[in-house]
């Protein structure tokens, strides 16, 4: 079973690792066979499985249910579970709701935000809950951003994001996740913290790991697809096509062939 210690070792050895979202036991079992390193039970379930137009309606009970489904079928990957919208507004809320998803099978929780959550990170860590901090484009704040837009595109905003990362790491953050930021920012953050694994989604080629929403990488998303997505089903066929797509994704991340330049954003100097 992959642990946080493994992820840190991967980073120090320069070995990239893979992550995919997952919400059910059948996909979780296929990811186990494909040896995907980490699984994120994302509040993206609200959009991919529940039919909502954002992640905001997702509840802690939803997250605990899907976490339990995944954990029953997968004993290989490190399991990260999102704490959904407004479920960590205070440190006491975070403790209560982290307990629910951890008892359901998560080994780490993910929360969205910046330096203002340092006390929450500290409280969770002190109570035995490893924290993955999600920065950049944070979908729970979509109404603040005015839509799903690339973040940290200027030097000033990039420096602010890096300052937030520093404060959160000092508070005890175990893993950083960067979404929709320029490749240069992803590289700077990954290099700045030699012992903190950095997962990217639309954050370029130089983060320590990559994550994609499983429906996106299987080509199941209808309408506009994000620039950072690659469809790994296009070269697969037969009854094991999904499993082969998971294997292809895992190997592409480890080999560093995904993402490629066309999947990245650049900083505006």
Helix H or strand E segment including 82: strand 78-82
Q: Which of 179, 188, 191, 262 is catalytic?
A: 179
**Alpha helices, DSSP H only, in the chain?**
4-13, 25-33, 45-48, 60-73, 91-104, 118-126, 142-145, 155-171, 183-192, 214-217, 241-255
C-beta separation of 133 from 121 below 8 A: yes
Q: Residue 41: helix, strand or coil by DSSP?
A: strand
Calpha distance 46→173 (Å, rounded): 26
C-beta separation of 231 from 218 below 8 A: yes
Q: Is 262 a catalytic residue?
A: no
Could you give the residue numbers annotated as active site? 179
């Amino acid at each position: 079973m992959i642990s946080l210690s493994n992820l840190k070792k991967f980073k120090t050895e320069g070995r990239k690792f893979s992550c995919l979202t997952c919400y059910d036991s059948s996909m979780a079992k296929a990811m186990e066979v494909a040896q995907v390193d980490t699984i994120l039970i994302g509040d993206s379930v609200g959009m991919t499985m529940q039919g909502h137009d954002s992640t905001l309606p997702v509840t802690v009970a939803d997250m605990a249910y899907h976490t339990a489904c995944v954990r029953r079928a997968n004993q290989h990957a490190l399991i990260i579970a999102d704490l959904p919208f407004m479920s960590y507004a205070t440190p006491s809320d975070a403790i209560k709701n982290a307990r629910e998803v951890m008892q359901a099978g998560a080994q780490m929780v993910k929360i969205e935000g910046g330096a203002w959550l340092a006390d929450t990170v500290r409280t969770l860590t002190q109570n035995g809950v490893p924290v993955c901090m999600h920065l950049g484009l944070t979908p729970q704040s979509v109404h603040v951003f005015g839509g799903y837009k690339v973040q940290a595109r200027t030097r000033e905003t990039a420096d602010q994001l890096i300052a937030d990362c520093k404060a959160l790491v000092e508070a005890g953050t175990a893993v950083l996740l960067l979404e929709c930021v320029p490749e240069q920012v992803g590289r700077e953050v990954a290099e700045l913290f030699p012992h903190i694994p950095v997962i990217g989604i639309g954050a370029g080629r130089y983060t320590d790991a990559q994550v994609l929403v499983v429906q996106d990488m299987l080509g199941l998303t209808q309408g506009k697809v994000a620039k950072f997505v690659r469809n790994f089903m296009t070269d697969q066929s037969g009854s094991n096509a999904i499993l082969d797509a998971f294997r292809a994704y895992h190997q592409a991340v480890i080999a560093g062939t995904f993402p490629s330049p066309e999947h990245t954003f650049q900083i505006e100097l």
